[in-house]
Amino acid sequence: MIGKGPILASYRLLSALLEPAAAGLLVWRRRRGKEDPTRFAERRGYPGVVRPDQTLVWLHGASVGETVTLLPLIERLQRRGLAVLVTSGTVTSAKLLAARLPAGVIHQYLPLDVPRYMRRFLDYWQPALGLICESEIWPNLVIEARKREIPLVLVNARMSERSFKRWYKLPQTSRYLLSSFESCLAQSQGDGERLAQLGAPRVSIAGNLKFDVPAPPADADTLAILDGLTTGRPVWVAASTHPGEDEQVISAHLGLKPHLPKLLTIIAPRHPQRGAEIEDLARANGVAVARRAAGGLPERDVDLYIVDTMNELGLLYRLSQVAFLGGSLVPMIGGHNPIEPAKLGCALLHGPDVHNNAEIFAAFDRGGGAHKVSDAQALAEAVHRWLSDPAAARQAARAAGQTAHQLGGALNRTVQAIEPLLMRVALGQRETTD
């Protein structure tokens, strides 16, 4: 058996000693709006609701992208009569899940990775199985689950080259943590090979669950209103933008406006609280702007519409012909999910830094549904090319949709892979009932 080793032992000791600092960090995050003040105790492992008196399966995703990825799997588990607990770590993910989780599924915030917090969480919820999404390998979570013999599976598992290089420097730590998982269901061959090199003993390639997530919904009445307001206008959306990208989107808009006088550019920032900041930036550049959170609408005299609200990307992709995926024109972010706009008929654009979804973007690029741009000028040129040639934009959008369809199937492969564990869980459930 692989031992924890000195690094994990030190991590355990230090994270326990720093528990007061962790509590202070939560208070600081709450003041900055990064924690839900009404559910603050959940981040320290205290339950926010009563546990159902039945066998419970636990799924965890870090933030919005990971939790959305888990939705089809959650529905499959619930249909089997299992109680389902979903955890995440961000306020935005909690708001999204409140709107999209099936009735009866419980959401809680994951505690910080402090030993006592994790013990408190696991002792209360007592999951029969834990499905951890992508790369959320928290040491105390894994160690405490292992102590309680809770089987863990890494689903939609991802290990980027950048993360691999960091883990590779800690061979005993990576082997211990990864060997604690019953299996690792990797997104791609590359992810699987890197996980195996780091010590994961049971790796299989299931594909990317993101391709099996239904397209995000849109309120029909709101869509009809906005569609009426934008009829006859070329529309494109810059989705999930970060600081440094909004300036480039506005610059691209200004470059496009002389060629497309009726152009409507939509910016949906990754963090909606930045809406007022982007509005000030637009006004400083002489752009006529409206902001959704302030009650604004894309009237005919509005050139830039800032959608600084939650859970409305499904609406925006249905209005747009072209979608630029943010987090890709600035370093370190790694690009956001292009699958949703691909399923909703958008031609795709992205910047050069897409390391978080590199293989997905590469597939769209190869299929002709996406195009890489390097700066504001290249962005303006690509948007102009597609908006001035609707047939070419439709062709690119069809190609993106075909790629998304062809790469589906990970949900069935994932359920098949975890079927032995689900049967074990179901057997335990029957024994408890008897």
Q: Which residues are catalytic?
A: 66
Give the Cα separation of 129 and 148 in Å (integer).
11
**CA torsion angle 114 120 126 127 (round to 10):** -30
DSSP 96-137: HHHHHSPTT-EEEEPPPS-HHHHHHHHHHH--SEEEEETT--
Contact 77, 127 (CB under 8 A): no
The answer for residues whose C-beta is within 8 angstroms of residue 430's C-beta and 6 or more apart is none
Structure tokens at 215: 């397209």
Q: Which amino acid is at 149?
A: E
Coil, strand or helix at 60? strand
Give the Cα separation of 244 and 134 in Å (integer).
27
Name the β-bridge partners of 238: 267, 324
Contact 426, 80 (CB under 8 A): yes
For CA atoms 84, 87, 88, 93, the dihedral sign is positive
Contact 71, 87 (CB under 8 A): no
Task: Provide the terminal-to-terminal Cα distance of the chain, rounded to the nearest Å.
Answer: 35
Chain center to CA of 296: 28
The residue with tokens 């249905």 is: 318
- The DSSP code for 353 is -
Contact 53, 394 (CB under 8 A): no
Contact 374, 351 (CB under 8 A): yes
Name the β-bridge partners of 131: 59, 153
Packing angle of the helix pair 275-284, 246-256 (nearest 10 deg): 40
Give the Cα separation of 105 and 179 in Å (integer).
29
Q: Which amino acid is at 401?
A: G
The residue with tokens 């690094």 is: 7
Nearest to 409 by CA among 420, 398, 417: 417
